[in-house]
Structures are given as structure tokens and as C-alpha cells.
Copies of this chain bind each other. A is one copy, B any other.
Amino acid sequence: MTRFVDVRNMIRWTAARGPERIMADLIDYLEDDFRRWPSFDKTPRVASHTPFGVIELMPTSDHETYGFKYVNGHPSNPARGYQTVTAFGVLADVHNGYPTFLTEMTVLTALRTAATSAMVAKKLAQPDSRVMGMIGTGSQSEFQALAFRAALGIDTLRVWDTDRAAIDKFLRNMAPLGFDITVASSAADVVEGADVITTCTADKTNATVLTADMITPGVHINAIGGDCPGKTELDAEILRMGDVFVEFAPQTRIEGEIQQMPADFPVTEFWQVLNNTAPGRTSAGQITIFDSVGFAIEDFSALRYVRDSIEGSEYFETIDLVANPDDPKDLFGLVGALSPLGS
């Protein structure tokens, strides 16, 4: 039998445990897996692109456990009442190939994306960072703010979005949470005094939400929204002003901000910084850029964490997802026994 966490149980589990605590825990799981990065099967995600958006499968394995995520990205969805990104994920036992765990991942992807950003910023941003500028206050924004507080102590937010209703939603959700929040008057105004800049917009175009003149020495840029071919957020010049850190270079060159740059543009894979085998921040004035696209190993960490966390709890059901006859060579017996066969 396969353990199954549906939307209701994911929401109940997240609410009961608390998103900020979950993301703090998730950073531990992510760091465990990033440290043993070379031991994972790594393949760029398998994407099916259409005029409306993209549907992707993101598999990985550590040779004990296999995991994959199904995820879509449809920028025009919110205008039609749907989520831009929905997802579900699976873990399986490599030894016999049986799926052991199935969970909704729309909420979980939001948690893991923010936790990944915070894990990276904890290592790359200036240690005394307190102020984050946020361009884009969509689905991912509140999670980013909470993760950055949990990991870095960010307590002051400057936010902006082209959609005023999205800003109001952000303010409403964040009001009880103790942040000092300023609504900026433009993207340029957002970055004023910011130690960290998070760009998280959803347009499926080569947009420029951040230009070179807005960048000050020492800032860490957490670029979330440029995450598929033809979808970027940063002025290419910014990428030359600082040092660019990525998850998995072969995938980021196709999907990230660096799709704007030549194939040999230098980048550092973050797992090496975490393992102290490549430099991270080397000076207070350095501009660091996390060109995040999301990688399968992050989903693997998130799936492991939820699987472990629900152990013994009431937050899952079991479902019978794959047939398993008593005699493994007698699959037909499962149906034959019930049926008056023949044409």
C-alpha cells in the first residue's frame, strides 16, 4: 500500500506544524541532500511545452529511494481562476520499484522553493541582512518572507507588484506575522536599502523586472521567476556585475536567467559552496545572484521530509496504487477469478 497525503491533509499538516518551522526543518533536509549531491542521479527535467504553459516531470534517485514530481507552469492560469503551478510527487523503493508515498505538492513546492532560496541566502547574503525587497507578491511571496526570517532573520520587507490586489492579499496574510512591511511605489523603489532582493514574477516572457542601475554593492539577488526557456526577469548586465550561483548548471543554462548568456558563462553550483569546495561570498561588496529554477533533488528532500514527518500521525491515508498478486506471475488470476471470461 502507498501512503497518500491529499490537499486537505497537506493543509492540516502545514497549519499544525507551522510553515516557518517546516521551512526551517526543510533547510536541514535540503542541506543533507545538497551535501551528497554527487551521489544523486541528475537529469534535466522532462518538459512538454504548449502555447499555454508547460508540464514537467522531475525525477531523481539516491539509489535507495527514487522520487519524482509532476508540475505544471501556466502563467495565464490565475486570470482564469487556476493556480499557475500545481504539483504532486511520489517516492518509490529502488530495490523493488514499488511506489511508497504519494503527496500533493502545490503547497509543498511553495515551501521547498522558499526553503531552498533561504538555504542559499543563508550562505551567500551578508550575515547581518535584515531588509528584503520583493518584486512579485504572488503565490510564492509569503513563503519566501517566512523562510528568510527563519534562516536569516529578515524582519523588514519592501514589496511591489503590478497587481494591486496581489499586494493587498500579501499585506492581509502577513499582517499577523510581525514583519515591518513597506509597499514600494515601483520596482526601483523596492530595492532601496535592501540587503536581499527577491524577484518572483510569473510572466512567461523575457521580462526585465530588475535593471543594472537598481543594484547596489553587497546585495544578494534571489531570482526565482526566471525558470523556463523564454522566461527571465533580470537585465543580462546584472549577471555580469556579480557572481552567479545555480542548482544544476545543465538545467539552469536552458531555463534560468543565464539562458541570456553564452554557454560558457561562469557559474558555481551551490552544493560546492555548501561543501566548501567552491567560494561563496568573498567580500562585503560582492553581488551574489542565485539563479533559481528548482531542481528535482529539492523535491526529493521535501518528499523525504513530509514522509518522515507524517509517520505515526493522522495526516495521511493509504491507497492501493499498484496490483500485487500473491503469486507474482499470476496477474491474470486477479481478474480471471472474478470474471466469466471469453468473448
Question: For chain A residues 2-19, which have a beta carbon within 8 Å of chain B?
Answer: 4, 6-8, 10-12, 14-16, 18-19
A161's nearest neighbour on chain B, judged by CB, is: B329
Q: In the complex, are the beta carbons of B173 and A330 less than 8 A apart? A: yes
Task: Say yes or no for A32: interface residue by CB 8 A criterion.
Answer: no
Task: Say yes or no for A312: interface residue by CB 8 A criterion.
Answer: no
A163's nearest neighbour on chain B, judged by CB, is: B329
- Chain B nearest CB: distance from A53 CB in Å? 6
The interface centre, meaning the residue of A55, A149, A166 with most chain B CB atoms within 10 A of its CB, is: A55
Q: If A86-B98, A90-B70, A341-B176 touch, does A169 touch B14 (CB 8 Å cutoff)?
A: no
Residues of B within 8 A of A90 (CB): 70
Q: In the complex, are the beta carbons of A334 and B88 less than 8 A apart? A: no
Contact digits for A41-77, partner B, Cβ 8 Å, 1 yes 0 no: 1010010101011110101010100101010111001
How many copies, total? Answer: 2
Which segment, of A247-255, A257-265, A298-306, A316-324, faces chain B?
A: A316-324
Q: If A18-B339, A50-B63 touch, does A83 touch B325 (CB 8 Å cutoff)?
A: yes
Complex Cα spacing A315 to B260, Å: 50
Task: Say yes or no for A242: interface residue by CB 8 A criterion.
Answer: no
A319's nearest neighbour on chain B, judged by CB, is: B6
Number of interface residues of A (CB under 8 A): 99
Residues of B within 8 A of A322 (CB): 7, 83, 86-88, 104-106
Which positions in A face B, CB cutoff 8 Å?
A: 4, 6-8, 10-12, 14-16, 18-21, 24, 41, 43, 46, 48, 50, 52-55, 57, 59, 61, 63, 66, 68, 70, 72-74, 77-78, 80-84, 86-88, 90, 92, 94-99, 104-107, 110, 137-143, 146, 149-150, 163, 165-166, 169, 173, 176-178, 319-325, 327-343
